[in-house]
Amino acid sequence: MHEPAPKPPTSDVTPAHIGIIGAGQLGQMLALAGIALGLRFTFLDPSAQAPAGRLGRHIQAEYDDERALEQLTVECDVITLEFENIPVSAVTSVSHHNAIYPGARALAVAQDRITEKQYFESQGIAVAPYAAVDSLESLGTAVEKIGYPAILKTRRLGYDGKGQAVLRTPADLPAAWAQMHEQPAILEQMIAFTREVSIIAVRSTQGELAFYPVGENRHVGGILHRTDIHPDDPAQAQAESSARRVLIGLDYVGVLAIEFFEVEGGLIANEMAPRVHNSGHWTQNGAATSQFENHLRAILGWPLGSTTGKGHSAMLNLIGQIPPRRPILALPGVHLHDYGKEARAGRKLGHINIVADTLNACRVHTAELERVIAAP
């Protein structure tokens, strides 16, 4: 492989060219934020229909295609990703020639649920009791330690509840293990949480840190359905403190999301996403600076924008179909985001941000919106 010279630091004046590994809706929203800032984009994505492909040059290739990664390295000033499950070896290889954020270490930690839990623990962040599982036999040993109910998950490549099985009795073990398809797994104690909350945090190449207000997440069928932002959320301080340790500990650059379970005694870290995150989409309309703009500012070493919330916000995902637009857009404080993807059951096709001046107005508008979406 040809080895281009390392790039000079990103200029403050010349518009920067950003390479993004992945060209789905997250890449698209990064590009929409970045084009407004004068940035240009090249995407690497195997799919010809990738939504973001229209917003820049699209290199259609596998995520670990060496030639494609080299192209990205040569033509871009800095590289980032919208998708964490790319081979760490590919990231390492790019990092020898160009800046890539987040880096190989953050990806390695986030890609393996065991490593991730160990990393949280090393930073003094509480996690649910867990055990590694690599056979039906070791699943038996693990469940003795963890107890019921518990969740068995693949260690790698899980998202939106895929590759997960709940264990409530010994009879559930064989079927749950079969679902793992012989892949290494993790057994986690099922936490009786009061809420699931997440924090979107960001750290720049200059070490500047910023934290958004935490969001409360509700899932349906393993997929994020709704995020509500409560100003002065009691979980803010602990979530921020955990995120700060993770960002600094990993020498992390860019936006990172951490999901927590809230229990009596505080927060238990569930998982992290080393990228812009669905539970931070509300920031497009509800915060002074969106997570997308701040991710770009962070990787370019530009000052971070304010993460202050404006009013009261909620976000509803549009899954499987985009409902008729007119009744949605007629509601006050509603911002539609349609990713332009082909409709398919269970697919995230868009989201709606709701911003209101009062908590009550936000709740009323969101309830009305839920009604419109459910029965268009």
Contact residues for a copy of itself, defined by CB under 8 A: 12-13, 15, 28-29, 32, 35-38, 40, 54-56, 288-289, 297, 302-303, 305-306, 310, 322, 324-326, 329-330, 332-340, 350, 355
Least distance in Å: CB of 28 to a copy of itself?
Answer: 8
In whole angstroms, what is the distance from residue 299 CA to residue 81 CA? Answer: 11
CA distance to 166, 248, 292, per residue, from 241 (Å)? 31, 11, 22
Q: Nearer Cβ to a copy of itself, position 181 or 326?
A: 326
Q: Which is nearer to a copy of itself, 226 or 335 (CB)?
A: 335
Residue number with CB closer to a copy of itself (2 or 326): 326
β-pair type (17-21, 150-154): unpaired
CB of 247 to a copy of itself, least distance (A): 20
- Kindly tell me which of 89 and 306 has the beta carbon lying closer to a copy of itself: 306
Rounded to a whole number of angstroms, the minimum distance from the CB of residue 326 to a copy of itself is: 5
Q: Are 338 and 355 in contact (CB under 8 A)?
A: no
- How far CA 274 is from CA of 124, 166, 331, in Å, comes to 19, 26, 34
Question: CA 246 → CA 10, 227, 249, 250, 322, distances in Å?
Answer: 26, 23, 5, 6, 36
Helix 25-36 and helix 291-300, axial crossing angle in degrees, nearest 10: 70
Cα separation of 188 and 215, whole Å?
A: 23
The nearest distance, CB 376 to a copy of itself, in angstroms, is 9
Query: What's the closest the beta carbon of residue 132 comes to a copy of itself, in angstroms?
Result: 42
For residues 217 and 290, which CB has a smaller minimum distance to a copy of itself in the complex?
A: 290
Q: In the sheet that 185-189 helps form, which strands lie side by side, from edge to edge?
A: 130-133, 185-189, 150-154, 164-167
Q: 372: which 2 tokens?
A: 């419109």
- Going from the C-alpha of 73 to that of each of 21, 23, 42, 129, 374, the distances in angstroms are 11, 16, 10, 41, 45
Q: How far is the CB of 72 from a copy of itself (least distance, A)?
A: 18
Q: Which is nearer to a copy of itself, 9 or 147 (CB)?
A: 9
Minimum distance between the CB of residue 353 and a copy of itself, rounded to whole angstroms? 11
The residue among 204 and 238 lying less far from a copy of itself, judged by its C-beta, is 204
**Closer residue to a copy of itself (CB): 139 or 253:** 253
CB 287 within 8 A of CB 309: yes
- Here the tokens at position 24 are 């789905």
**Closest distance of CB 71 from a copy of itself, Å:** 18
